[in-house]
């Protein structure tokens, strides 16, 4: 297993089915801020359902069509990022995120997302990384902007959630727009 330092005693690590008890405890803490935007938070209400969410991502990772990573702060799972979709053949993937309130305002999602976007472009040769956000999710939209993404448009009333149809904003960044890594100054 790997762990990538995100600074401030935070790490990005794979999130796997065996971690379902920790994931469920985290989702229970995060539910007030996550549930309005991420339907699987509603679906993860007990250990079997939390395990099923993580198992679905594990199965999709084995098929190279999705991935999920957790963000740990001081040893506690506080959020994560995921490739909701990952289509290597077309070169397009969608990145998403979530975070519990106790970890907000530290830049963890932005840093973790940069790691994932960089990997998608540099290691996997993706052409486009998308970021879909409910039009009302201003925190997510601000993150897309911080990542240098361009708003491609709004899909009006494109999905129902809790009896209401929601608009989705689609943001993206292309491989040739992604910053070139800078060489460390070793002098």
pLDDT for 181: 61
Query: Going by DSSP bridges, is the β-strand pair 150-161/76-87 parallel, antiparallel, or unpaired?
Result: unpaired
pLDDT for 187: 46
Q: What fold characterizes domain 4-177?
A: Aminopeptidase (3.40.630)
Q: Return the number of other C-beta atoms located less than 10 Å from residue 16's C-beta.
A: 16
pLDDT for 33: 86
Show the low-confidence residues of the chain (pLDDT under 70). 1, 180-187
For the stretch 25-43, pLDDT in tens is 999 999 988 887 777 777 8
For the stretch 49-83, pLDDT in tens is 999 999 999 999 999 999 999 999 999 999 999 99
The residue extents of the domains of the chain are 4-177
């Amino acid at each position: 297993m790997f762990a990538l330092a995100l600074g401030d005693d935070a790490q990005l690590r794979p999130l796997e089915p065996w971690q379902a008890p920790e994931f469920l405890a985290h989702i229970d803490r995060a539910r007030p801020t996550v549930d309005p935007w991420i339907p699987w938070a509603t679906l993860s209400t007990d250990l079997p359902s939390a395990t099923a969410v993580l198992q679905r991502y594990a199965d999709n990772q084995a098929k190279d069509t999705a991935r999920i990573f957790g963000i740990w702060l001081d040893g506690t799972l506080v959020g994560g990022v995921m490739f909701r979709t990952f289509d290597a053949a077309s070169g397009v993937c969608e990145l998403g995120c979530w975070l519990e309130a106790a970890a907000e305002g530290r830049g963890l999602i932005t840093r973790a997302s940069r790691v994932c976007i960089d990997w998608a472009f540099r290691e996997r040769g993706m052409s486009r990384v998308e970021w879909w956000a409910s039009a009302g999710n201003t925190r997510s939209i601000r993150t897309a902007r911080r990542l240098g993404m361009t708003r491609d448009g709004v899909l009006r009333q494109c999905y129902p959630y809790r009896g209401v149809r929601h608009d989705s904003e689609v943001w993206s960044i292309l491989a040739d727009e992604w910053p070139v890594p800078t060489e460390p100054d070793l002098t």
